[in-house]
Amino acid sequence: MKRYKEQTISQALKALMQTYGLEGKMQEFQITSAWPEVVGSHINKYTSEVFVNKRKLYVRLNSSVVKNELNIIKEGLIKALNEKVGVNVISDIIFI
């Protein structure tokens, strides 16, 4: 019987995700999941859709006032979201 290198489940899952190219998709999911936590419930109630495409986070908002306010703090939001995931996943946020 061939003996394999022992790994924790976490290490095995990470290796599996890297092998199948799913690591980036998981990080994108983590970014979109972190959005409500980073902006808070008050801002999140004006959010109708959040998705990532080509390193850009697209956020559909129902309020032009909130959109303008978030544009002012965009760089801080990018930094906070990337820090939440631990990797630079997004480089820009587009408010639509």
**Model pLDDT, residue 42:** 94
pTM summary value = 0.82
**Model pLDDT, residue 10:** 83
Q: What is the pLDDT along the chain (96 residues), one digit of tens a residue?
A: 566 778 888 888 888 878 887 888 889 999 999 999 999 999 999 999 999 999 999 999 999 999 999 999 999 999 999 999 999 999 999 999
Q: At what angle do helices 74-85 and 64-72 cross, to 10 degrees?
A: 80
Residues 6+ apart with CB under 8 A from 86: none
- The domains located in the chain, with CATH, are 29-95 (3.30.300)
